[in-house]
Structure 1
Amino acid sequence: MANSKDFFLSVTQRVLSNWTALKMAVEHGMGSKERAEDFCPYITEVMFINDGLTANEIAAEIEDYMDTEFNTELQDESSIQVAEELLRFYNYCKEGDESTAMTEFEKLPPLQIWITARQTIKQVGNQSMAENNGDSSGSSTEEDEDMEVSEPGWTEVKTRRKR
Structure 2
Amino acid sequence: MADTKEFFLNITQRLFSNWTALRMAVEHGMGSKDRAVDFCPYITDIIYMNDDLSSDDLAAELEEYMDREFQTELQDNSAKEIAEILMNFYHYSHDGYGETVMTEMNKLPQLQPWILSRDQIKQLTSKSLPINDDSSSDSEEENGNSMETTATNVSEWVEVKTRRKK
Mark yes or no: TM-score above 0.5: yes
Which residue of the partner structure matches residue 34 of structure 2?
34
Contact 1:30–1:72 (Cα < 8 Å) also in 2:
yes
Q: Which residue pairs with 2:145 in the alignment?
A: none
**1:78-126 CA deviation, whole Å, 9 max, x = no partner?**
1000000101100111101111111111110000111113323549xx9
Give runs of aligned pairs for residues 11-22 of structure 1, distance below 5 A.
11-22=11-22
Kindly report which structure 2 residues correspond to 1:130-149, keeping only aligned pairs within 5 A, or say none. none
Asked whether the equivalents of residues 12 and 44 of structure 1 are also in contact (C-alpha less than 8 Å), the reply is yes
Q: For 1:19, give the aligned amino acid.
A: W
Structure 1, unmatched stretches of 5+, are 130-153, 157-163
Amino acid corresponding to residue 63 of structure 1 in structure 2: E
Choose 1-10 or 113-122, whichever is displaced more: 113-122
The equivalent residue for 1:100 is 100
Give 1:41 shift.
Answer: 0.4
Where does structure 2 lack aligned partners over 5 or more consecutive residues? 132-154, 158-166
Say if 1:99 and 1:78 are closer, same or farther in 2 by CA, change over 3 A: same
Hey, what's the Cα distance between the residues in 1 that align with 2:54 and 2:130? 28
Per the normalisation by structure 1, the TM-score is 0.74
Letter in 1 for 2:16: L
Give the structure 1 partner of residue 116 of structure 2: 116
- What CA distance in whole angstroms lies between the structure 1 residues aligned with 2:50 and 2:129? 28
Equivalent residue for 1:147?
none
In the alignment, what sits opposite 1:10? Answer: 10
Runs of 4+ in 1 over 4 A off after TM superposition: 126-129
| Contact 1:67-1:73 at 8 Å conserved across structures | yes
Q: CA RMSD in A?
A: 2.1
SS in 2 for 1:110: coil
SS state of the match for residue 76, structure 2? coil
Q: Distance in 1 between matches of 2:47 and 2:124?
A: 23
Aligned to 1:85: 85
TM-score normalised according to structure 2 size: 0.73
The whole-number CA distance in structure 1 between the counterparts of 2:156 and 2:113 is: 15
Distance in 1, Cα, partners of 2:124 & 2:116: 12
Structure 1 residue 127, shift from structure 2 partner: 6.0
SS in 2 for 1:38: helix
State the 1:25 CA deviation: 0.2
Q: Quick check: 1:36–1:115 contact (8 Å CA) kept in 2?
A: yes
- Percent identity, please: 55
Q: Distance in 2 between matches of 1:9 and 1:50?
A: 16
Helix, strand or coil at the partner of 1:74: coil
